[in-house]
Every structure is written in structure tokens, then in C-alpha cells.
Structure 1
Amino acid sequence: MCAIQERDLWQESRSAGLRGTELHQGDALAFLSGTTTRFDSVLSVFGAGYFTDPALMLPAVHEVLVPGGVLAMSQHPPIEGCYGCQASYIPRGPDEDPAVVKRWDYPPETWIDLLRTYGFEDTTATVLPAPEHGRRRIGTLLIRGVRSA
């Protein structure tokens, strides 16, 4: 999420010149529950929106958005039949066990229903295909909702 992504050189170079952009490192839910700031938009680019239970994340985001504010998320599309909480093993060093990371995978129509359940309107969820050229073969699921008044 734009307001809570880890700060690194890539992010700083990407946000350079964007007035009003704040980057914070930490737990997304803790940040959202602890802030009194209201946001025009919350962005999750393969981030907390993907790796946090939507039953916890969506109400927390809804709470910090101004009426008419936009939630926009991107993530990999789900694998057919593999829906809900999924676990991934992320390799670490040669002498370490892999890290276990949970992610929430749903088809586009389920994301639309989830956003509506938690008070979002004008919801969309669309899978963009992978680029025709290059090595990437997995598309991107784009999810968007507008906070109700």
C-alpha cells in the first residue's frame, strides 16, 4: 500500500516529485488501525492487500479512506480451483528453512463481492494478460473499489 510500503531506493526514486506521498515501513493493519489520517487512495501493488486476510484488510482500508476514496490492488491471478488462503515457501539462505508466506487468492468475481461486502462501490476486478514479449507468462489481477459515503 502506498502509505505503508517498505522504504527503499526503488520506492524513493519512484515517488520522487509526488507531492503528499508518504512511505511507511511496518505492519499494514497496525498502521491502518493506529492512524487518524484519512486518505484519498490506498494502493497495494503485490503487497498487503494480497498477503493479508481480506476480512481484516478491507474494513481497515475502508475506515481510513475518505468518502469516494479509492482502493486499488494488484496481484497474480489465482490458479484455477486454488482459492482462499494459500501458502508459499520463499527460499532464504542455503542453511535456513524457507519462509512461509500466506496470500489470499480469489477469482475476480469473488474480489468484487468481498469489496461490496465491506462497503466499497464501483468495484472492478480484471485480469490483464502477461506481456506478449519477454519471459513473464502470468498476468496481473487489478482490483478497484470506491469507499461508499
Structure 2
Amino acid sequence: MTAFEWTQYEGHGPGAELLGQPRTALELGAAECREASWLARRGVRVTALDLSPVQVERARRWWKDVPGLAIEEGEACAFLRAGDQTYDAVYSVWGAVWFTDPQELFPLVSTRLAPGGLFVFSHGETPQGLDGRRPMYGKGPEGREMTVDRWCHAPEVWAGLAREHGFRDVRARCLPAPTGQALGTIIVEARVPA
């Protein structure tokens, strides 16, 4: 992997600079841990969390020699409740934030950020007229049909939710897709008070 990507389009949009200069970071919904391994190779101590045992096993195999990278299996809110470690940055690239109720998740994230810490996440553009909890249909790790909930909000709604839970310096936007592509990327940046 040559870059930290917030969108699904290689080389499109901002990179790891959105996280500032963290010493420690937590990725929620890390999947194959590409971004987590990229940060760890640059000296950040990263905990990468994913709910899928299949993804976790594959990521542990792929990145076993990357120092400073811990790959954990678990659900985001349960993980955040279970410990007391704080991080300079908590982030999610098309990951757990999209699939977790923000009324539950955002307060937990804020308690696990160090003073002045950053919360940054991205996910697919929300289609016009969709808002709130929406079912998403697909295939699970074993190939069986399943339904998961996804939270669909416009950038200004995400910004309001972040402010409601005490985040400051909130910036939320939809980065348009590159020419010829249909789906843009919502990117939200927020900070806890120092």
C-alpha cells in the first residue's frame, strides 16, 4: 500500500494528514487493516479493530511483521466500553462508524480520545432523501445473505451529531467522486476539547 486513502478511489482526496501527527490511533472497522498498517509503518502505535473474524485473521496474517500494529476482533462500542486507553486519533475508513448508532458511538469515542484528540471518519455518499438508520443487504463472511443497519446522514447532520456529543472544530463535507464515477465520499473531522 502506497498511501492512506479515505475514499474508494485510489489517489483521490486527502490522506493521513487529516489525522494530524498522532502517536497513537484506533481504527474502528479496520477490515484488512491497510490504513492501520500504513500508519504503523510510519511510527504510529495503532490498534485496528474489526468485527469479522475472517477479516481479523487475514489482516493478522498479512501484517504480522508490522511493528506497532495490534489487530483486535470485536464490536466498536463494546471495545470502547471495555478499556480505558486513550488515543490521539480515532478514525474509520468506510468502517464501523457507518454501521453503528452515532448516539451510542460518539460519546464512547469522545471518552477514549486524549485531550485535543481527533475523530475522523469517511463513508459513501448518502443518496438524496435518505436519512437515519437504513437496512443494507448483502452476503456475510460465509456467503450467506444478511442484513446490517447503516446510518445514512448528510454531512451537516453528521456535523450536528458530533457537536451534540461535545466535539469541536467539526468539519463535514461530501467529496465528489472523480470524473466518471458515481459515488462521492462523506468525510467528517472533529476534535475533543484540549
When normalised by structure 1's length, the TM-score is: 0.86
2:186 aligned partner: 141
Runs of 4+ in structure 1 displaced over 3 angstroms?
A: 1-16
CA deviation after TM superposition for structure 1 residue 126, in Å? 0.8
The answer on whether the counterparts of 2:77 and 2:105 sit within 8 Å (CA) in structure 1 is yes
Summarize the alignment of residues 1-149 of structure 1 with structure 2, pairs less than 5 Å apart. Answer: 2-6=26-30, 8=32, 10=34, 13-19=37-43, 20-23=45-48, 24-91=72-139, 96=144, 98-133=145-180, 136-149=181-194
Greater RCO, CA 8 A, separation 6+: 1
The answer on whether the counterparts of 1:4 and 1:31 sit within 8 Å (CA) in structure 2 is no
**Could you list the runs of 5+ residues in structure 1 that have no partner in the other structure?**
none
Q: Describe the SS at the equivalent of 1:57.
A: helix
**Could you list the runs of 5+ residues in structure 2 that have no partner in the other structure?**
1-24, 49-71
Q: For 2:172 and 2:108, locate their aligned partners in 1 and report how far apart those are by CA, in whole Å.
A: 20
RMSD of aligned alpha carbons: 2.4
Q: For 2:33 and 2:168, locate their aligned partners in 1 and report how far apart those are by CA, in whole Å.
A: 35
What letter is aligned with 1:148? Answer: P
Change (3 A) 1:63 1:11: same
CA deviation after TM superposition for structure 1 residue 15, in Å? 4.4
Q: For 1:138 and 1:3, locate their aligned partners in 2 and report how far apart those are by CA, in whole Å.
A: 23
The answer on whether the counterparts of 1:4 and 1:25 sit within 8 Å (CA) in structure 2 is no
Deviations 1:3-55 (A, max 9, x none): 44456474675345132122222111111111111110001111111100000
Q: For 1:123 and 1:108, locate their aligned partners in 2 and report how far apart those are by CA, in whole Å.
A: 10
The number of aligned residues is: 146
Structure 1 vs Structure 2: percent identity of aligned residues? 32
